[in-house]
Chains A and B, each alone.
Chain A
């Protein structure tokens, strides 16, 4: 394999840190990963750590937007020599952190890059702040990465992981053109794994993106709520539809209340007389059917009941609680169930309704 030369080189270098310096940097994990890396089949480009580092570095230069990344790349260049020499990890924690952040998992296609970079980075990152990025990296990158099992990474924020998954999903959907280009063209370094590929990494844009996602989620809910909105694409039109819907609903309320105002005079909603005698008995009991609900919901398919409605209604207008409640019970128990079943959420309304009305009046 072409990497043999490089690997031998690295191998010799690996033995060195076993003893000393690496120990300071959680050598055990690192060396394990290094061994894994070495034993793993190498892919094309990078044959040595230097090459590996250069590759992502250059591409990161192209793709990164944030200034920090540029600094990192600049800074990482001298580190390459260090790596070459003796796996002497840079003691510069700032650099370490930045290195970590740049989630060097250069692309899913390039396993070697990933493996070589990630072990360094993750081990370095054990104390880094940008653990989140690192954690995202394992989640993002191919499952072949051994890093996923890195305990330090796993202890990170779960929230970030969710976002990464979302990001991964979004990368699959390739929401932005830049993402697509990145994925297809180079399949190399992520700008910032937390963000989508190819997008800015500063906190402002991240927050904005999160906000936009929230808003889009809510727009979807609204689209489902408003009939006929599913087919419309484009936020402006959907919002227009929603506005129209709200306006029409408000107008309907007004219209119906006008109808009630005109219709009502003929009807005496005389619930007082109906309920006051019952107040003691059926406060809690759900067995007593509400006298009012069947009267109010004429959705009965059973026509036979209608006449009884009218009969009862006459009684009502006479303000005489004449009807034996037991009779009414028999009539309306079945009615309630059918009437209120028109809405699944109101199934229990019947029994509660009576109680509530009593309490109100």
Chain B
């Protein structure tokens, strides 16, 4: 989806601006490809899914490979793309579950907090294969990126409503 050429890496480029750029580009693409005025719920649902994927993808691409969660998300997208083309189906998810199981067995760190760390692992992409320390790190960055995402999308929505 994002066939963007290498962006100009300005030192003052912030995560937010990168995300804004990509996401808006993705939105325009989605709007261009889809017939805009189709009120049927299935079409809307499809749009919704595409927009959601676009949003997550834009954020993941904005972070590039600097974070474990973004790498995991990107590889998930790529595998999903190939799955859509019919070759494999949810290989990634099965791998994740097996990893999750092994980590559960080997957990020694915080006895009473295993449940929470498990939940966190499920929430944060790529969390299954992280140790607790990295998991907390990644969670912090993931939260920061999610808040950016939500902020940007909210503004877009507000704007769209405004301009109706």
Asked whether, in the complex, the Cβ of B25 is within 8 Å of the Cβ of A265, the reply is no
Asked whether, in the complex, the Cβ of B10 is within 8 Å of the Cβ of A352, the reply is yes
CB distance from A236 to the nearest CB of B (A): 6
Q: Please name all residues of chain A whose beta carbon is closer than 8 Å to the beta carbon of B117 when the two chains form the complex.
A: 239
Fill in one digit per residue for A261-305: 1 if any B CB lies within 8 Å of its CB, else 0.
111111111111000000000001000000011011111000000
Asked whether, in the complex, the Cβ of A239 is within 8 Å of the Cβ of B20, the reply is no
Asked whether, in the complex, the Cβ of B28 is within 8 Å of the Cβ of A257, the reply is no
Asked whether, in the complex, the Cβ of A346 is within 8 Å of the Cβ of B14, the reply is yes
Fill in one digit per residue for A203-238: 1 if any B CB lies within 8 Å of its CB, else 0.
000000001001100110110011000000001100
Asked whether, in the complex, the Cβ of B20 is within 8 Å of the Cβ of A353, the reply is yes
Asked whether, in the complex, the Cβ of A345 is within 8 Å of the Cβ of B15, the reply is yes
Spot the interface stretch: B75-83, B86-94, B97-105, B137-145: B137-145
B36 within 8 Å of A (CB atoms): yes
B44 within 8 Å of A (CB atoms): yes
Given A356-B8, A359-B7, the answer on whether A309 and B153 have CB atoms closer than 8 Å is no
| Inter-chain residue pair count (beta carbon < 8 A) | 206
Q: Of B4, B45, B50, B142, which contacts A246 at CB under 8 A?
A: B142
Spot the interface stretch: A49-57, A67-75, A102-110, A248-256: A248-256
What is the interface size of chain A, counting residues whose CB is below 8 A from a CB of the partner? Answer: 66
Distance, CA A348 to CA B18, complexed state (A): 11
B-side binding surface: helix, strand, loop or mixed? helix
Asked whether, in the complex, the Cβ of A361 is within 8 Å of the Cβ of B28, the reply is yes
Asked whether, in the complex, the Cβ of A225 is within 8 Å of the Cβ of B144, the reply is yes
Asked whether, in the complex, the Cβ of A269 is within 8 Å of the Cβ of B119, the reply is no
Asked whether, in the complex, the Cβ of B120 is within 8 Å of the Cβ of A310, the reply is no
Q: Please name all residues of chain B whose beta carbon is closer than 8 Å to the beta carbon of A254 when the two chains form the complex.
A: 48, 52
Asked whether, in the complex, the Cβ of A265 is within 8 Å of the Cβ of B37, the reply is yes
Asked whether, in the complex, the Cβ of B55 is within 8 Å of the Cβ of A257, the reply is yes
Q: Of A239, A263, A272, which contacts B160 at CB under 8 A?
A: A263
Asked whether, in the complex, the Cβ of A246 is within 8 Å of the Cβ of B153, the reply is no
A159 within 8 Å of B (CB atoms): no
Q: Please name all residues of chain A whose beta carbon is closer than 8 Å to the beta carbon of B32 when the two chains form the complex.
A: 272
Q: Of B12, B52, B157, which contacts A348 at CB under 8 A?
A: B12
Asked whether, in the complex, the Cβ of B17 is within 8 Å of the Cβ of A348, the reply is yes
Asked whether, in the complex, the Cβ of B153 is within 8 Å of the Cβ of A253, the reply is yes
Asked whether, in the complex, the Cβ of A257 is within 8 Å of the Cβ of B51, the reply is yes
A343 within 8 Å of B (CB atoms): yes
CB distance from B29 to the nearest CB of A (A): 9
List residues of B (10-66) whose CB comes within 8 Å of A's CBs. Answer: 10, 12-18, 20-22, 24-25, 27-28, 30-32, 36-39, 44-45, 47-48, 50-52, 55-56
27 A-B interface contacts by CB (under 8 A): A221-B136, A221-B140, A222-B143, A225-B140, A236-B113, A243-B123, A245-B143, A246-B123, A254-B48, A256-B153, A260-B153, A261-B44, A262-B48, A264-B27, A264-B31, A264-B36, A265-B37, A267-B164, A269-B27, A293-B20, A348-B17, A349-B17, A352-B12, A352-B13, A356-B17, A357-B25, A360-B4
